[in-house]
Amino acid sequence: MEERELLPHLFRREYRKIVSVLCYLFGIDHIEIAEDIVSDTFLSATEQWSLKGMPENPTAWLYTVAKNKTKNYLKRNTLFEQKLSAEIRYTADKTEEIEIDLSVKNIADSQLAMIFTICNPCISSEAQVALALNLLCGFGIQEIADAFLTNKEVIYKRINRAKERLKMEGIKIEQPNAAEINSRLETVLTTLYLLFSEGYYSTSQNIILRKDLCAEAMRLNYLLLENKSTNQPAVNALFALMCFHASRFEARSNESEEIILYQDQDESLWNKELIDQGTYFLNKAATGNIISKYHLEAGIAYWHTQKADTNEKWESILQLYNQLLILEYSPIAALNRTFALAKTNGKPEAILEAEKLNLTSNPFYYSLLGNLYTDIDADRAVQHYETALKLTNSSAEQILLSKNIDQIRAGQK
């Protein structure tokens, strides 16, 4: 990696680690101080490295500077130091003896504590995802705004309101005990699921950003797998789901960033290593007597990594959707189920089921109906595709829908 590319890479990777450790040390009331110290560390790196060149061990340099800046801050702020001495995890009488522990274990512990702090039900799921991206993943405000397809001001306010709410509620940054894990793990998994979905299903045309979102969700999920207390079946199932989806990332669009539908994807572009990894973790998830929605969705995603268009495949997918809808009904899951129904029972039956959903504000509803009516009623297929075209804001979707309309009309001539 070239020097000019290294600092942004280090910022993304190390910023989140140091911020988590300092937040863990300082507590929820002083998140901004932790962020300021780390930002100042990277500012020093930018200034000094441009003059003196890259140090032999850039990460060690960053850690040393971050530690020194933290100690200097505490030295200059006696009141802050006195308050901390009563609240946080050190008993030193002198600032010089404060240990800023940036070991691998403490970084992992700090990030785990931060995950459970951020994923607190006192703040909205949107705020949880934004805060996770900012504090746990090192994403800037503009990047988060791009991911949510909104502006910086909206994200800035969302993150600040979330921080203030956590402070107001007196939420502590600490290792979750068994009771907290049991009561809040589902919220944590929901946040990671939403974070991954922001990348995988994003309408943003920024492919690098979309992949980064998915990679960060997978990294945080794996952090849960590495901890004995949080390595539970649902965590394994969610990681398997992410692996299966991520395995087909490269095949979902072409060089022009146009969408490639599942049946047209080049199987050689699927990542076999991720498919094998997903299969491994799905098998690991098959313990205990509780089936989560992640187990069922991972099962559906697994069958989508089997390209052969067999009855067994689509019947299995249909049955998994049936179980998923019983466990946790979702209009989108019901909509997706109708595609599997078309494969097993034929398009006419699938059309009847799809039209019952009446999701008239959803472009994917009309897109699916357009697909189902193709070869049955060309005019109605075009009508549905045109409605979807009006409803979607995604340029990639618009290109795909326009192509479908043109193909049907060409066949009518």
pLDDT digits (tens, 9 = 90+) for 78-93: 655 565 555 554 444 4
Tell me the pLDDT tens digit for each residue of 110-163.
Answer: 999 999 999 998 999 999 999 999 999 988 898 888 888 789 999 999 999 999
173 half-sphere exposure, CB direction, 13 A CA radius: 28
Categorize the per-residue pLDDT at 254 as very low, low, confident or very high, splitting at 50, 70 and 90.
Answer: confident
Domain residue limits, the chain? 1-101, 103-226, 232-307
| Percentage of the residues of the chain whose pLDDT score is greater than 70 | 92
For the entire predicted model, the pTM comes to 0.88
Q: Answer whether 128's CB lies under 8 Å from 118's CB.
A: yes
What is the rounded CA–CA span in Å between residue 220 and residue 113? Answer: 12
DSSP 93: S
Q: Provide the token pair at 134.
A: 């900012």
Q: Answer whether 202's CB lies under 8 Å from 147's CB.
A: yes
Angle at Cα 353 formed by Cα 347 and Cα 354, nearest 5°? 85
Q: Provide the token pair at 96.
A: 């010089």
Q: Answer whether 247's CB lies under 8 Å from 278's CB.
A: yes
pLDDT at 89: 47
Tell me the pLDDT tens digit for each residue of 158-207.
Answer: 999 999 999 999 999 999 999 989 999 999 999 999 999 988 887 666 77
| Closest to 305 in 3D by CA, of 279, 335, 338 | 279
Q: Answer whether 209's CB lies under 8 Å from 147's CB.
A: yes
Q: Answer whether 338's CB lies under 8 Å from 354's CB.
A: yes
What is the rounded CA–CA span in Å between residue 327 and residue 333? Answer: 11
Once rounded to an integer, what is the mean pLDDT over residues 216-227? 95
Q: Please report, as a single letter, which amino acid is at residue 399.
A: I
pLDDT at 210: 83
The dihedral formed by the CA atoms of 56, 60, 65 and 66, expressed in degrees to the nearest 10 = 150
Tell me the pLDDT tens digit for each residue of 31-81.
Answer: 999 999 999 999 999 899 888 888 889 999 999 999 999 888 887 776 555
